[in-house]
């Protein structure tokens, strides 16, 4: 009986060959994503491949017919339909990429970057990576000279996020470090005191990590949390106040509604992206300073039910294990050779030898 041989594994290639602004300019190249839009606004995204062929109800063409054309080109298919060729924006990619956990929508990610003041070269600490949507916005803002430490408690979510981020940037982003584990434990092991400019938390119970975030932040640094429910918002704000280490928190939500404009026929769209989550921010005080005294006393009975706001009461929406395994399998097949490593938050200790 002949021995069975393991089939050779094909090398993984980057889906975007050029990292940074250079990869988003110039004519289309093989390995890049192309977004095709028809006259009805329907969009299809694919990666240019030397032997690729695109087919839809509005017509078809070979990928080689797109390579070398300028972005923004309108082509006419054999069936007479016009198709617009563009590179997809980050907002387009986030809404179509594989998901293990819920993503932070572009409308919220943009406000995170703006209101947390994520600047080029910033040192940012992120927790709750999910599928990597917010991570990509943070990396785009800090650039190659900054540093982003992302912490995710679930190994499978971290792997999916790594694949999505690598796929968008084309390879491992030099400013990104991804670790798994408990936020407080990872921060204690890998983050020095007062060494981080910004802390961004997207997790179920951010109030449990106020102390760790305060220790890591520089004086004047920004703490930002993204939460989905009113109980989470209230408890996080009260935890920030009770810590005595932050300025008075500010919180808000945003709703985005498009408008239909056709001559004098101007009206709001019938659909809108309304509540997706709450954002709240606070600034780190100096070590020898206390928060300003609040002029308005708290409402009587405002904290009577604080003991009932447990993690179980808040609840958590997530994908099924079966879906996560399927998404993870697909993501790993698309990762580049220099994929982002998912590192353990705490180094494993060897068991002591016994005589």
Residues forming beta bridges with residue 59, ordered by sequence position: 56
pLDDT confidence of residue 252: 98
Q: Hey, what are 353's tokens?
A: 């030898």
pTM assigned to the model? 0.82
Sorting pLDDT into bands at 50, 70 and 90, what band is 15?
A: very low
Specify which of 77-81, 85-89, 320-324, 347-351 reaches the highest per-range mean pLDDT. Answer: 85-89
Taken in order of first residue, the domains within the chain and their CATH numbers are 21-88 (3.10.330.20), 92-291+302-334 (3.40.50.150)
CA distance linking residue 229 with residue 13, whole number of Å:
40
List the one residue out of 108, 156, 120, 113 whose CA is nearest residue 327: 156
Q: Are 269 and 255 in contact (CB under 8 A)?
A: no
Angle, helices 133-142 vs 106-115, to 10°: value is: 40
pLDDT confidence of residue 348: 61
Tokens 């060897």, located at residue = 350
Higher pLDDT, 197 or 97: 197
What would the mean pLDDT of 309-321 be, rounded to a whole number? Answer: 60
Sorting pLDDT into bands at 50, 70 and 90, what band is 13?
A: very low
What would the mean pLDDT of 281-310 be, rounded to a whole number? Answer: 75
Region class of 107: left (phi > 0), else alpha (psi between -120 and 50), else beta? alpha
CA 143 vs. chain centroid, Å, equals 15
pLDDT confidence of residue 309: 54
Residues 154-163: tens digit of each pLDDT: 999 999 999 9
Query: In the sheet that 250-252 helps form, which strands lie side by side, from edge to edge?
Result: 250-252, 278-283, 217-227, 196-201, 123-127, 147-152, 176-180, 342-344
Residues 67-79: tens digit of each pLDDT: 999 999 999 998 8
Higher pLDDT, 22 or 13: 22
What percent of the chain lies above the pLDDT cut of 70?
Answer: 83
What would the mean pLDDT of 129-146 be, rounded to a whole number? Answer: 96
305 pLDDT above the threshold of 60: no
What would the mean pLDDT of 244-254 be, rounded to a whole number? Answer: 97
Q: Hey, what are 86's tokens?
A: 């563009």
Residues 182-238: tens digit of each pLDDT: 999 999 999 999 999 999 999 999 999 999 999 999 999 999 999 999 999 999 999
Supply the mean pLDDT for the chain: 87
Q: Are 162 and 171 in contact (CB under 8 A)?
A: no
What's the number of CA atoms in the CB half-sphere (13 Å) around residue 236? 29
pLDDT confidence of residue 303: 55
* Cβ neighbours of residue 268 closer than 8 Å, sequence gap 6 or more: 257, 258, 259, 260
pLDDT confidence of residue 329: 80
Residues forming beta bridges with residue 55, ordered by sequence position: 60
pLDDT confidence of residue 312: 56
């Amino acid at each position: 009986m002949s021995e069975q041989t393991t089939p050779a594994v094909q090398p993984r290639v980057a889906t975007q060959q050029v990292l940074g602004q250079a990869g988003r300019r110039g004519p289309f190249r093989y390995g890049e994503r192309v977004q095709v839009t028809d006259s009805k606004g329907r969009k299809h995204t694919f990666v240019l491949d030397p032997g690729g062929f695109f087919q839809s109800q509005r017509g078809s063409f070979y990928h080689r017919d797109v390579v070398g054309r300028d972005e923004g080109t309108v082509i006419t298919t054999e069936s007479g339909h016009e198709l617009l060729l563009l590179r997809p924006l980050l907002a387009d990619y986030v809404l179509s990429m594989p998901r293990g956990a819920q993503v932070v929508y572009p409308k919220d990610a943009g406000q995170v970057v703006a209101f947390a003041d994520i600047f080029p070269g910033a040192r940012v600490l992120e927790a709750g990576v999910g599928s990597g949507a917010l991570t990509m916005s943070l990396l785009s803002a800090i650039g190659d000279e900054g540093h982003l430490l992302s912490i995710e408690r679930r190994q499978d979510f971290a792997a999916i996020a790594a694949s999505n981020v690598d796929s968008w940037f084309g390879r491992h982003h030099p400013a990104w470090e991804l670790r798994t584990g408990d936020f407080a434990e990872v921060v204690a092991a890998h983050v020095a005191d007062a060494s981080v400019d910004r802390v961004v938390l997207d997790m179920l119970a951010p109030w449990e990590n106020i102390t760790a975030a305060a220790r890591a932040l520089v004086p004047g640094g920004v703490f930002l949390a993204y939460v989905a429910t009113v109980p989470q918002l209230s408890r996080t704000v009260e935890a920030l106040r009770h810590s005595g280490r932050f300025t008075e928190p500010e919180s808000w939500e945003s709703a985005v509604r498009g408008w239909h404009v056709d001559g004098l026929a101007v009206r709001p769209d019938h659909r809108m992206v309304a509540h997706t989550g709450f954002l709240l921010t606070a600034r780190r005080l100096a070590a020898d300073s206390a928060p300003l005294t609040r002029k308005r006393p708290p409402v009587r009975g405002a904290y009577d039910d604080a003991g009932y706001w447990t993690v179980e009461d808040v609840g958590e929406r997530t994908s099924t294990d079966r879906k996560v395994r399927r998404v993870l399998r697909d993501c790993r097949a698309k990762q580049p050779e220099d994929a982002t490593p998912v590192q353990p938050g705490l180094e494993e200790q060897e068991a002591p030898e016994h005589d």
